């Protein structure tokens, strides 16, 4: 892959994504530079997010309008968490004898855990909102 391909940014037309994800992106004032990443996350995490949604009791699901709103909220939180993790990874003091492949595997596992934790955190927040309404 060339450097040009690594740095190219695809502009996302927000009118082509789910209305719920668009609303979350606009409400959170997500920088345009993150739109493509968040849309990508949204597409690849649907199955895991659906499992989390389905595990919620109906009373907790009623906190939000629908699954797509839940999915949009999680996608945006995963986007921000992913960026923070990648920034932190660049400054991590990894063992000198760690190969590039081991570093890449470690980074992939770290990001996977962070993205999974975003789902768990949202589930906890929804359950808490159900228990402790405003």
pLDDT tens across 66-100, in order? 999 999 999 999 999 999 999 998 899 889 999 99
pLDDT digits (tens, 9 = 90+) for 107-132: 999 999 999 999 999 999 999 998 88
Which sign, positive or negative, has the C-alpha torsion 30, 35, 37, 41? positive
DSSP H stretches of helix in 1-134: 3-7, 19-27, 32-44, 46-55, 58-61, 67-90, 100-131
Is residue 2, in this structure, part of any structural domain at all? no
Q: Specify the pLDDT at position 21.
A: 96
Q: Specify the pLDDT at position 2.
A: 41
Q: Specify the pLDDT at position 12.
A: 86
Count: domains in the chain: 1
Is residue 4, in this structure, part of any structural domain at all? no
Cβ atoms of residues 42 and 17 within 8 Å: yes
Is residue 96, in this structure, part of any structural domain at all? yes
Cα gap 56→114, rounded to integer Å: 20
Cα gap 42→109, rounded to integer Å: 19
> What is the DSSP secondary structure assignment for residue 12, as one 8-state letter?
P
Q: Which range of residues forms the domain containing residue 27? A: 11-131
- DSSP per-residue letters across 29-49: T--HHHHHHHHHHHHHSHHHH
Q: Specify the pLDDT at position 11.
A: 83
- Nearest in space to 79 (alpha carbons), one of 130, 7, 12, 5: 12
Cα gap 43→67, rounded to integer Å: 14
In this predicted model, which residue has the larger pLDDT, 31 or 3?
31
Q: Specify the pLDDT at position 84.
A: 94
pLDDT digits (tens, 9 = 90+) for 40-50: 999 999 999 99
Q: Specify the pLDDT at position 99.
A: 93
> Which CATH number is 56's domain given?
1.10.3440
Q: Specify the pLDDT at position 133.
A: 75
Q: What φ, ψ does residue 45 adopt, rounded to 5°?
A: -100, 5
Q: Specify the pLDDT at position 6.
A: 45
Is residue 66, in this structure, part of any structural domain at all? yes
Is residue 1, in this structure, part of any structural domain at all? no
pLDDT band of residue 9 (cuts 50, 70, 90) is low
């Amino acid at each position: 892959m060339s450097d040009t391909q690594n740095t190219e940014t695809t502009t996302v037309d927000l009118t082509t994504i789910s209305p719920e994800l668009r609303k979350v992106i606009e409400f959170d004032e997500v920088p345009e530079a993150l739109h493509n990443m968040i849309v990508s996350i949204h597409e690849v995490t649907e199955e895991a997010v659906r499992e989390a949604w389905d595990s919620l009791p109906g009373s907790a699901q009623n906190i939000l309008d629908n699954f797509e709103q839940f999915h949009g909220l999680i996608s945006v939180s995963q986007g921000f968490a992913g960026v923070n993790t990648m920034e932190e990874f660049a400054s991590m003091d990894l063992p000198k004898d760690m190969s590039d492949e081991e570093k890449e595997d470690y980074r992939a596992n770290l990001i996977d855990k962070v993205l999974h934790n975003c789902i768990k955190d949202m589930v906890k927040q929804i359950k808490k909102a159900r228990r402790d309404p405003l």
